[in-house]
Structure 1
Amino acid sequence: MERKRILLADDHQIVRAGLKQLIDAEPDLHVAGEAATSAEALALLREGNWDLVLLDISLPDRTGVDTLRLIRTHLGDIPVLIVSAFPEEQYAINLLRAGANGYLKKDADVDEILRAIRVVLQGRRYLSPTAADLVASRLDQPGAGPAHQDLSEREFQVLCKLASGMSVTQIADELFISVKTVSTYRSRLLEKLQLGSNAELTYYAVKNGLIQ
């Protein structure tokens, strides 16, 4: 049996070690590469053939949100399973909308981690019971839950960057869009979230666990 090649992208060595030990114990799975940064992960993805990426949200050089966008833009439809310490209600819907194939908490039990990996490898999306309830609630009651869950992928991306203290110019440079476009996104965010300033955006993001 040919084992599925998995890339671990997480900046915590102990987390990678634990996941690697768990995955490599399975006869059909193999951790064939590890990355501690977004740049390392993207470089490895360009170099080889991978069946799945386990991607953390909080990488030191680039957020998992940005990394996921770059994977989808430049590397196609390689399966990406998000593994995060953040609760599902904070990020899951936005990341699934951005192209993630699943969202998994780092404190999930062994059986759930392996089940999630195999579900995604089969070409399906993995939703934990909590994430599934969130998606169902959005369908049943549009507008229910945190307002950021209704943002577009790009709006959510700009929100996280503004809240982390980046200027409009810095965001424009990093996303390769114009300053005017970023300003438009900022205005749209303030309107949708019913906020009045960058300081309030930051407070909203901290309150909702979008930044630490």
Structure 2
Amino acid sequence: MTEQTIKIVIVDDHQVVIDGFMARLQLEPDIEVIGTASNGLEALDTVSYLQPDVILMDISMPIMNGIDATEQIKKTLPNAKVLMLTMHDNREYIMKVMQVGAMGYMLKEISAEKMVQAIKTVNQGATYFCETTSQTIFTQTSSPVKSPDINPLSRREERVLKHVAEGLSSKQIAKALEISYRTVETHRQNIKHKLELHSTAELAKYALEKGLIK
């Protein structure tokens, strides 16, 4: 390991995601993953002990989410550089992330090249927001604070929900959106969690009420 090597800690509650990120980064000679954590609370101890240069932080995790974890980390380690990696391109999430001191925000589907670029950018003290996130920030109109009508779904999740409501299977949705079956299943679980709905019928009703289907 050289002096220029960027030390990384990855925080995510899905081991398959951690493995995927590690596989992307292990080919980079100037980046080294020195530790992982599976939730925000575990991240506090791991980051405090290992003192990484950059922390790749998921948002939706059990025990303690990534936003709360980032806020706590920044209190004890104000120079910590947190880069959010998430499925959500929702404006509300992005604003919260910026408020607690994260230095970057990008979707998990980002290319390995862009991920490396983001890590190096925040390591140098600059902020990094992926193209999709930037578009979300500047094109979505700002909603009133605590409005009960805020849509918690990302644009991709809305498209998945629309197809679910139309009766398509996960396999058919994956083909229609040109994404993997696993990604569709992840979106479906995230949608149910965000909307606090449990059945396909409830999802279809919500989609109809929101005008996603006619």
TM-score by length of 2: 0.65
- Secondary structure of 1:83 counterpart: strand
- Secondary structure of 1:147 counterpart: coil
What percentage of aligned pairs have identical amino acids?
27
Confirm or deny: 8 A CA contact 1:88 1:103 kept in the other structure. no
In structure 2, C-alpha distance between the alignment counterparts of 1:65 and 1:209, rounded to whole Å: 17
Match of 1:145 among 142, 145, 154: 142
Structure 1 position 12, deviation (Å) = 0.3
**1:32 alignment partner in structure 2:** 34
In structure 2, C-alpha distance between the alignment counterparts of 1:21 and 1:36, rounded to whole Å: 17
Q: What does 1:98-177 correspond to in 2, within 5 Å?
A: 98-136=100-138, 144-148=141-145
Confirm or deny: 8 A CA contact 1:7 1:50 kept in the other structure. yes
Q: Which amino acid aligns with 1:98?
A: V
In structure 2, C-alpha distance between the alignment counterparts of 1:146 and 1:209, rounded to whole Å: 14
Confirm or deny: 8 A CA contact 2:14 2:38 kept in the other structure. yes
Structure 1 position 96, deviation (Å) = 1.3
**1:152 alignment partner in structure 2:** none
TM-score by length of 1: 0.66
How many residues align? The count is 154
Structure 1 position 89, deviation (Å) = 2.7
- The verdict on how the C-alpha distance between 1:119 and 1:43 changes in structure 2, with shifts beyond 3 A counting, is same
In structure 2, C-alpha distance between the alignment counterparts of 1:110 and 1:47, rounded to whole Å: 27
- Secondary structure of 1:32 counterpart: strand
Confirm or deny: 8 A CA contact 1:51 1:78 kept in the other structure. yes
**2:79 alignment partner in structure 1:** 77
Give the RMSD, CA atoms, in angstroms: 2.1
Q: What does 1:168-207 correspond to in 2, within 5 Å?
A: 189=146, 193=147, 201=148, 204=149, 207=151
Confirm or deny: 8 A CA contact 2:91 2:137 kept in the other structure. no
Match of 1:63 among 58, 62, 65: 65
Q: Unpaired runs of 5+ in structure 2? A: 155-192, 195-214
Structure 1 position 135, deviation (Å) = 4.3
Structure 1 position 88, deviation (Å) = 4.5
- Secondary structure of 1:99 counterpart: coil
- The verdict on how the C-alpha distance between 1:127 and 1:88 changes in structure 2, with shifts beyond 3 A counting, is farther
- The verdict on how the C-alpha distance between 1:87 and 1:132 changes in structure 2, with shifts beyond 3 A counting, is closer
Confirm or deny: 8 A CA contact 1:55 1:64 kept in the other structure. yes
**2:161 alignment partner in structure 1:** none
Q: Unpaired runs of 5+ in structure 1? A: 139-143, 149-188, 194-200
Confirm or deny: 8 A CA contact 1:11 1:60 kept in the other structure. yes
Confirm or deny: 8 A CA contact 1:90 1:209 kept in the other structure. no
- Secondary structure of 2:153 counterpart: coil
Q: Which moved more, 1:14-23 or 1:123-132?
A: 123-132
**1:209 alignment partner in structure 2:** 153
**1:8 alignment partner in structure 2:** 10
